[in-house]
Amino acid sequence: MAVRLRLTRVGARKDPVWRIVAADQRSPRDGRVLEILGQYNAQTEPSTIVVDEDRVRDWLSKGAQPTDTVRKLLRTQGIS
C-alpha cells in the first residue's frame, strides 16, 4: 500500500478548508483516510497552516510521499 500525504477538502460551498491527511493513494480525494495530520485555510490573511509535526515526520520516516502542494506547505512550516 502506497501512502500519500495530501489534501482533502472540507468546509462549506465556496468556503473551502483543506485537511492534510495520510491516505492510500488509490482512495478518492475525499475518501477514506488513515490519519488527519493538520489543516490549511487559504481564505484567511495570512493563510492558516496547522500541522502535527511529530506525526508528519513519523509518516515520512515510514515512506509516505507528500504531494507537491503538501510538500510546499510542509516546507513553509520547516518540515522535510
Nearest to 19 by CA among 70, 62, 58, 63: 70
Domain-by-domain residue ranges, the chain?
3-76
Fold of the domain spanning 3-76: S16 Ribosomal Protein; Chain: A; (3.30.1320)
- Could you give the C-alpha distances from 37 to 13, 28, 73, 78, in angstroms and in order? 23, 17, 12, 15
pTM: 0.91
**pLDDT tens by residue, 38-54:** 999 999 999 999 999 99
62 φ, ψ (degrees, to nearest 5): -85, -5
User: Can you tell me the distance from the alpha carbon of 74 to that of 70, in angstroms, rounded to the nearest whole number?
Assistant: 6
Band of pLDDT at residue 13, cut at 50, 70 and 90: very high
Average pLDDT, whole number, for the chain? 95
